[in-house]
Structure 1
Amino acid sequence: MSIERRPSWLERKLLLSPIKAYLKHKYQIELERNDTAKLKPPYIILANHTNKWDPLFINCFVEDPICFVADAPLFRNPLLKRVLDYTGAIPKATAKNETGTIRNMLTAKKHNRVIGIFPEGNCCWDGTTKDIAYATAKLVKLLNIPVVIGHVKGGYLSHPRWADHDRKGKITVSLEKKWDEGELQAMSVEAVHQGITAALAYNEIAWQAEQRVAFQGQGLANYLERALFVCPSCKTVGKLHSEGRQFSCTACGYSVIYNELGYFEPKHKPMHFQFVHQWNAWQLQYTKTNLHEQQLYKAWRQALADEVKLYVSSSEESPFMQLSTGKLTWHRSYLLYKPHHDAEPLKLPIERLEGINVHLNSKLDFYMDNNMLRFDFFHPRSSAYMWYQVIRHSNLQQEAKLQ
């Protein structure tokens, strides 16, 4: 099986049946709507991304194995690459728009395959849909095949991206045919983009307000500091700490409880936010506004200093090779990596970093000079997400100065 060959009925059963059985045993998965039941390939599924298992949750209810577009770094693992190639996954680099990705999608269309895309690019950190890649609208118009909008609901609360363990609750899947073949051709790319953005808009907490499902597990707040890194009470960066269900600031003592509904409860009033997505939205605005304030520079520098392992890959196909271990620090216009041995420090100008991305929840990836670098954080509570946001805003600040 590959992009070029649509699997037979027997192959589909052999591949998908055990996956369905496993997921339905592990999670309480329900089908809300399935317009693909009477839809013949080729067509494309655009879905929100709340959980690392979203591709499998969706494929549980789609007859054909889906050719999902997957980040190129996944293909650098030799064993995983064989699995992805077999299922017809389509590699997409995060640093650039590859014509190869488009060619593979056109090939999938030609061979009557189902194509799957998560236009957000990565799993969300707080249960809400993030910015939709503008290129998705251009691609949908180019393919000119039916478009199905997929929603996975409960996936975030079942296993938040920042957490290490699953929670037992409920997941529902909806697959709604939004546009038929030819329906988008008369629309502008901007209109298509707005339509896709509106169709994929989702807030897990709004869904939870109606469902009131308890997501049970141990240590529900553990590792929440991977996602939330600014205290709303004292505005200190990098001093938040999780333990069990409690999430506290070690600088000022502000503390909340994270409950089974995914809500915060007050431990010491006042409580600034009830939900993770509210806290995250506030801290991102705070970062944007205060990152380059001179009086806060030392505080950001202290927070952005982590022990890491450095990996490098020199081509799209080559696996990552570990070069060394060391310390990574932020310096406004550049990152500085100091190896633990006596090698020369590596200065990484932020303006030269491309395709910045967080892989899983603890690996910071980017391209520089045609090499892909990966910094894997030693400490499980380090926030690669904070690094990503700071680098992104540092880059935006430099671009603004050049204008």
Structure 2
Amino acid sequence: MRRKRLPHREPTEDNKVWIERVTQRALGPSRAALMGVAPLSWSGRETLPDEPVLILSNHVSLFDPWFTITAAGKPIHYLATAAAMQQPVMGFVLRTWGSVPKRKFTVDAGAIRALKKWADLGASVGSYPEGERSWDGELLPLLPGIEALVRLLKLPVVPVRILNADRVLPRWASVRRHGRVEIQFGEARKFPRKAPPAEVRAWLEQSLRIDQRDEANHFPVRGVRLALGIENPLFRCPHCFAWDALSPQRNVASCMRCGASWRVNTHNELLAEGGGASSMTIVEARARIREATADNFFVNEHRFEREGLVAESQRAPLLNISGDQAEPMGMVRARLTREAVAFIDDAGRPRLTIPLRELMVASVELRRRLTFRTESELYELVLPTESPLKWRELTEHWRERAHAGDEA
């Protein structure tokens, strides 16, 4: 059972002073601690204004706030998911530096008010406009409303690019690698209150995007067991497109259906080994899977036509995590159809059914935690081995179709 949620620091003048004092004392030990994760370098820090700023960054790893605060040399009060703030290491770091817990993929007015209070106290604040960590280092679409946040806070905006974290700490990888991470601080820009939203968004996209093909944006990385976890972003074979078919062993991923195999390297490339496979990057493999799935968002065509079944999960624990304490709801299998996601127990009885038109979002939290949010409740399914990203993308596709049908 998940521990009771730990408190965060509220935006007050006393807490601001305490955090500033602790930050200055912690910078040296913080840099030393990060040497064991990823040696840190930075550029552009000299251009940071003395006044409070809004830091907006690409998001690749769980350590991104720690990297950026250490590189900036001053506190930054980040919006952070409640799940991240409960982690043993990063949770402590985020709470110590006054991060603001927020609900994921939904407008959290309370979190925005708290962030503005920090800004009104004269503190710098930060957010990740993508809303989640990238699975392959590519910049995700920016969330709606980031332009409104820029206008609301009235602070100079500093774009930050985090380089090489996609190779050192890939979101999907089971084993951490070792290599340098660089934080690049861009020039601050102050937007007028009536700045066109499209102008703000275009500037941010251009400022945060990293060309993954340019090796100048990367540094040497070393690691072992590089293929472990690759089945999370590549939940279909990029050669034959069989579902849940990749089997990773140390540095090699093989398809159990067609026999294609690839050696995974520290550049996040799949180098063809046999079975008719062709070499590609993980970014290219993800693009191939998206294209193959575009017209058939279901796992088994016969079951989809006969039962309307999109997917059925492996047996997994279901929890209600709406309150401060997680409430176990038993072992279930998730069954996704065009209309609902149901959670069926071992006796074949539904423990919970959520109509897709009532589902606000399905998202992936830390590790294999798949969450389902309704207007009033939050549920979590902890998948033992199955790709949570597969379930997120399938559920979101059919959820969006259900909502589009309601609006039609």
In the TM superposition, what whole-angstrom CA distance separates every residue of 1:133-165 from its partner, at most 9, and x where no partner exists?
121111101111111111110101001111122
* C-alpha distance in 2 between matches for 1:85 and 1:210: 34
CA shift in 2, pair 1:268/1:307, >3 Å: same
Q: Report if the CA contact (8 A) 2:23-2:97 is conserved.
A: no
Q: Distance in 2 between matches of 1:87 and 1:29?
A: 19
Which of 238, 241, 246 pairs up with 1:240?
246
Q: How does 1:43-54 map to 2 (within 5 A)?
A: 43-54=53-64
Other-structure match for 1:21: 32
Give the distance between the partners of 1:175 and 1:27, measured in 2 at CA.
18
Change (3 A) 1:314 1:31: closer
Q: Secondary structure at the match of 1:219?
A: coil
TM-superposed deviation, 1:184: 3.5
CA spacing shift, 1:285–1:296, aligned 2, 3 Å: farther
Q: Distance in 2 between matches of 1:74 and 1:44?
A: 21
Q: Where does the alignment leave 5 or more consecutive residues of structure 2 unmatched? A: 1-8
**Quick one: which amino acid aligns to residue 213 of structure 2?**
A
Q: Deviation at 1:295?
A: 3.6
Alpha-carbon distance in 2 for matches of 1:216, 1:233: 27
Deviations, residues 195-240 of structure 1 (Å, cap 9, x unaligned): 212211124x324x33664422111011100111122322211111
Q: Which amino acid is the alignment partner of residue 342 of structure 2?
A: L
8 Å contact from structure 1 (residues 2, 87) kept in 2: no
TM score, norm. by length of structure 2: 0.88
Gap regions ≥5 residues in structure 1: none
Q: Is the 8 A contact 1:255 1:267 kept in 2?
A: yes
| Counterpart pick for 1:124 among 119, 124, 134 | 134
- CA offset digits 1:60-87 (Å, max 9, x no partner): 1222221010123445779987764442
Q: CA deviation at 1:166?
A: 1.2
Correspondence for 1:195: 203
Distance in 1 between residues matched to 2:293 and 2:186, nearest whole Å: 37
Following the alignment from structure 1 to structure 2, what is the Cα–Cα distance between the partners of residues 239 and 64? 46
Matched, 1:206 2:185: no
Task: Classify 1:56/1:137 alpha carbon distance in 2 versus 1 (closer, same or farther; 3 Å).
Answer: same
- Residue 369 of structure 1 deviates from its aligned partner by 4.9
Map 1:20-169 → 2, pairs under 5 A? 20-35=31-46, 37=48, 39-74=49-84, 84-169=94-179
Query: Deviation digits for residues 366-400 of structure 1, max 9, x if unmatched?
Result: 21251110001123xx1000000000111233344
- 1:276 offset after TM fit, Å? 0.6
Q: Distance in 2 between matches of 1:41 and 1:197?
A: 24
Cα distance in 2 for residues equivalent to 1:294 and 1:155:
36
Offset at 1:128?
Answer: 0.6
Aligned letter for 1:353? L
Once the two structures are TM-superposed, the CA of residue 337 in structure 1 deviates from its matched residue by 1.2
The number of equivalent residue pairs is 394
Matches within 5 A, 1:233-312: 233-268=239-274, 270-272=276-278, 274-291=280-297, 295=301, 297=303, 304-312=312-320
Normalised by the length of structure 1, the TM-score is 0.89
Measure the CA separation in 2 of the matches of 1:294 and 1:257.
28
Which of residues 375, 394, 399 is equivalent to 1:390?
394
Distance in 1 separating the partners of 2:94 and 2:56: 19
Instruction: Percent identity, please.
Output: 21
SS at match of 2:280: coil
CA distance in structure 2 between the aligned counterparts of 1:35 and 1:133, rounded to whole angstroms: 29
Cα shift at 1:25: 4.1
State the AA in 2 paired with 1:321: E
Output the CA distance in 2 between the equivalents of 1:277 and 1:363.
23
Give the alignment of 1:356-395 within 5 angstroms: 356-379=362-385, 382-395=386-399
- In structure 1, how many angstroms separate the alpha carbons of the residues matched to 2:243 and 2:143? 29
Over 3 Å counting, the alpha-carbon distance change for 1:235 and 1:95 in structure 2 is: closer
Cα distance in 1 for partners of 2:168, 2:157 equals 27
